[in-house]
Structure 1
Amino acid sequence: MAAQPEITNMALFCDFENVALGVRDAKYAQFDIKKVLERLLLKGSIVVKKAYCDWDRYKEFKATMHEAAFELIEIPHVRQSGKNSADIRMVVDALDLCYTKAHMDTFVIISGDSDFSPLV
């Protein structure tokens, strides 16, 4: 009997504000989350989808992200220097999943910065 192929279970974390700013700065027409999801689904099953942002500032994207079944995590914008609150929350959530969900074997981070290198 042939061995069953292993199914990859992915958790997807999106630093949405960072991505939106990168798209704007690069002068791209838009960010299409559907294309990202299509590529990831070739690799396995996406079990968790979370997007972090001050959603009051990016209201026009909320419907699209909801339609793509993302849990929208509200990160209020606070004018202060230091670490981005979204980055910290993403790391905490990723570590929580890592330690509490044994079936999760792949973590995907969508961001435009390298703040997550220590997590990897």
Structure 2
Amino acid sequence: MNAKNTIQNMALFCDFENVALGVRDAKYAAFDIRKVLERLLLKGNIVVKKAYCDWARYKEFKGPMHEAAFELIEIPHVRMSGKNSADIRMVVDALDLCYTKAHVDTFVIISGDSDFSA
């Protein structure tokens, strides 16, 4: 079987606060995580879903993210935890998966943060 036909097992990490800020700044009506997931599922299986945010500040998104089976990781507000707290936590969690879940072969980062751009 060639590489194009193999099913990818993906771990999805979402810096939700950056996404929410980007949606607001772009003046989009709403952010629908289901559309993102539908697109990713065309590439393979999503076996881990984690979203990082100060969820007290984005309460209205907790329900839809739970419904989409995301593990919600609480990241305190920037003033309390520092600007890159979510980034650091995502990297630590991704590295942990590298060593503990050999079946995960693709890592997906959803973020509006330029720290992750190539």
Give percent identity, aligned residues only: 88
Question: In structure 2, the residue corresponding to 1:31 is in which secondary structure?
Answer: coil
Question: Larger C-alpha radius of gyration, 1 or 2?
Answer: 1
Shift of 1:83: 3.9
Question: In structure 2, the residue corresponding to 1:102 is in which secondary structure?
Answer: coil
Shift of 1:100: 1.6
Question: In structure 2, the residue corresponding to 1:48 is in which secondary structure?
Answer: strand
Q: 1:100 to 1:77 in 2, by over 3 A?
A: same
Number of aligned positions between the proteins: 116
- Provide structure 1 residue ranges, at least 5 long, that are not aligned to the other structure: none
Shift of 1:78: 3.7
Shift of 1:114: 2.0
Q: TM-score, normalised by structure 2?
A: 0.91
Inter-partner Cα distance in structure 2 for 1:73 and 1:98: 19
CA RMSD of superposed structures (Å): 1.8
Partner of 1:76: 76
Q: List per-residue Cα deviations over 1:1-40 (Å, max 9, x = no partner).
A: xx59522100000000000000000101111100000000
Shift of 1:81: 8.9
Higher helix share: 2
Inter-partner Cα distance in structure 1 for 2:64 and 2:81: 30
Shift of 1:80: 6.1
Of residues 12-21 and 75-84 in structure 1, the stretch that sits farther from structure 2 once superposed is 75-84
Inter-partner Cα distance in structure 2 for 1:84 and 1:100: 24
